[in-house]
Structure 1
Amino acid sequence: MPLLTIITITYNAEKFLPRTLRSVERALAGVMDKSQLEYLIIDGKSKDNTLHIASQYEFVSRIISEPDRGLYDAMNKGLKLAAGKYIWFLNAGDEIYNQDVLVSLLQSFTNDADVYYSDAMFVRESGDEVGLRSKFTPHKLPAHLKWQDFAYGMKVCHQAFVAKKDIAPHYDAENFSADIDWEINCLKRSDKTILLDFILCKYLLGGTSVQNHRRSLLDRFTVLKKHFGLFPALINHIFIFWRGFWFARKNGKYW
């Protein structure tokens, strides 16, 4: 059984997938026992060159290409197929931060935590670094993460969150903020959560939740109401919008 399964979701991703796969290839070069890693590509029946690009990389364990109901439906397929003890979602356009990350992450698994998390470096399509998520957004990274920290939104970038498969629930495929719900549920089931002392990933700005920003905000309210209750969710969203307004006024738009 592999120790880690990395899952990449694609749909007509020929423009962005190579940067993801090259980053995995660089990081995998330092891993002595490559059988510790499983790499899955779950594709939504792309019509471009995505599948041909994916087939060029020997470390790709499996490619599934079939119609789906969107990002989180595809992620559920990946979860079901994953054989690894730990799950890491790294979508097309996102990258492993540097060549040392996989070695360090695999070594960290000796702590047998249920969840590992870190900061994420925001990058533009050009590859230029914008800054760490904990600096570029109002979401400061806690040293001791717990599910209650999500009262004010997405505390940890999804691509910087690695969880044991046996605590990982399925995603609500109809909710554009299903990643927040997923992380909260993982943390509720986690007995041991560890902050890594290295950056896990580069996060490409402009993902699905940003492209569907208004729907994402409404769905986030649904998630927070589910976990914290209606009145706390209303109060917390007033604070979220107030905090976001002043942060953007001081630092510029961050979504």
Structure 2
Amino acid sequence: MQPKLSVITIVYNNVKDIERTMLSVLGQSYPNLEYIIIDGASKDGTLERIELYRGKFAKLVSEPDKGIYDAMNKGLALATGEYVLFMNSGDELYDAETVSDVFDTANSADIYYGETEMFDSEWKSLGQRRHCAPEIFNWRSFRYGMNISHQAIYVKRSLAKPFDISYKYSADIDWIIKIAKTASSIVNTHRYVAKYLVGGISKKKQLASLKERFRIFTKYYGLVPNLINHVFIAINLAQYFIRHRRTND
């Protein structure tokens, strides 16, 4: 039997993008899917746009929250699927066959993951994320940067603990590392699984986000190894921008 997947979308005042995200989920060919939407009491018409699809999603909560990760925890608490996936407002599942293809890759993995394509605010493709998904992923794989986005990772709900809301910008990194530490089977789907809208809260608060990421990486990898790893991160970043500049010249 095909496992049940709970897809969770959180949104707040994003009437511009919410429908696109919803349609990417509701248009999946996969039959065993539970769709949960957590709205932070939007006042810009977002809730009215969601209500147009009443009856096509499993659960809707619209109330104030304490931030993005508090809202994600609300969705996680409501999920009843064997697996969970966060597809927040503005992002999309890659195509209509994505979920079916993910679960066809292997049976009963603890984690499935894939590649992400980035898009700008006008929904023009920016290509693959700078951090490509690794061929083999484990909890140590983030030591050189977050190379799998939460939109591109399907996890067994039994392994998914609540997000640590003491982190304001990077709790998803902490969440994925914790899950990966307990996972015994992690499967690379070798395909694009998500489309990601750039410019989220971690980009708007980039310095604070980077400081928080450093704290998280230090917690898991140790201070000295983390400092050394960040030297390599800086070198790789510089090389990326040099290559990118040459391509555009």
Identify which of 142, 156, 168 aligns with 1:150: 142
Q: Which SS does the other structure have where 1:202 is aligned?
A: strand
Structure 2: where are the runs of 5+ without partners? none
Question: Equivalents in 2 of 1:67, 1:132: separation in Å?
Answer: 34
Q: What letter is aligned with 1:76? A: N
Pairing 1:63–2:64 present: no
Question: Which aligned pairs between 1:105-184 and structure 2 lie closer than 5 A?
Answer: 105-108=102-105, 111-133=107-129, 137=130, 139-175=131-167, 176-184=169-177
Question: Equivalents in 1 of 2:114, 2:3: separation in Å?
Answer: 22
Question: Equivalents in 1 of 2:17, 2:236: separation in Å?
Answer: 32
Query: Would the aligned equivalents of 1:54 and 1:60 in 2 still touch at CA under 8 Å?
Result: no
Question: Equivalents in 2 of 1:209, 1:39: separation in Å?
Answer: 25
Q: Which SS does the other structure have where 2:14 is aligned?
A: coil
Give the drift of 1:2: 6.8
Match of 2:21 in 1: 20
Pairing 1:78–2:75 present: yes
Please give the per-residue CA displacement for 1:89-140, whole angstroms capped at 9, x wherever unaligned: 00001011111112223434x610000000001112222211112xxx1x23
Pairing 1:237–2:230 present: yes
Question: Which aligned pairs between 1:198-217 and structure 2 lie closer than 5 A?
Answer: 198-217=191-210
Please give the per-residue CA displacement for 1:59-91, whole angstroms capped at 9, x wherever unaligned: 211111111111111111111111111000000
Question: Equivalents in 2 of 1:250, 1:111: separation in Å?
Answer: 39
TM-score scaled by length of structure 1:
0.90
TM-score scaled by length of structure 2:
0.92
Question: Please, what is the CA RMSD of the aligned residues?
Answer: 1.6
Q: What letter is aligned with 1:22? A: L
Query: Would the aligned equivalents of 2:18 and 2:90 in 1 still touch at CA under 8 Å?
Result: yes
Question: Equivalents in 2 of 1:178, 1:53: separation in Å?
Answer: 29
Instruction: List 4+ stretches of structure 1 deviating above 4 A.
Output: none
Match of 2:41 in 1: 45
Q: Which SS does the other structure have where 2:190 is aligned?
A: coil
Question: Equivalents in 1 of 2:89, 2:242: separation in Å?
Answer: 31
State, as a whole percentage, how many aligned pairs show the same letter.
Answer: 40
Q: Which SS does the other structure have where 1:188 is aligned?
A: helix
Q: What letter is aligned with 1:40? A: I
Question: Equivalents in 1 of 2:234, 2:104: separation in Å?
Answer: 40
Query: Would the aligned equivalents of 2:159 and 2:179 in 1 still touch at CA under 8 Å?
Result: yes
Query: Would the aligned equivalents of 1:167 and 1:189 in 2 still touch at CA under 8 Å?
Result: yes
Question: Which stretch shows the higher mean deviation, 53-62 or 200-209?
Answer: 53-62
Q: Which SS does the other structure have where 2:100 is aligned?
A: helix
Structure 1: where are the runs of 5+ without partners? none
Q: Which SS does the other structure have where 2:158 is aligned?
A: helix
Question: Equivalents in 2 of 1:141, 1:99: separation in Å?
Answer: 21
Pairing 1:249–2:242 present: yes
Q: Which SS does the other structure have where 1:118 is aligned?
A: strand
Match of 1:7 in 2: 8
Pairing 1:97–2:87 present: no
Q: Which SS does the other structure have where 1:239 is aligned?
A: helix
Query: Would the aligned equivalents of 1:153 and 1:180 in 2 still touch at CA under 8 Å?
Result: no
Question: Equivalents in 1 of 2:194, 2:244: separation in Å?
Answer: 23
Question: Which stretch shows the higher mean deviation, 178-187 or 236-245?
Answer: 236-245
Question: Equivalents in 1 of 2:44, 2:60: separation in Å?
Answer: 15
Question: Which stretch shows the higher mean deviation, 208-217 or 228-237?
Answer: 228-237
Question: Equivalents in 2 of 1:231, 1:106: separation in Å?
Answer: 39
Q: What letter is aligned with 2:182? A: R
Q: What letter is aligned with 1:126? A: E
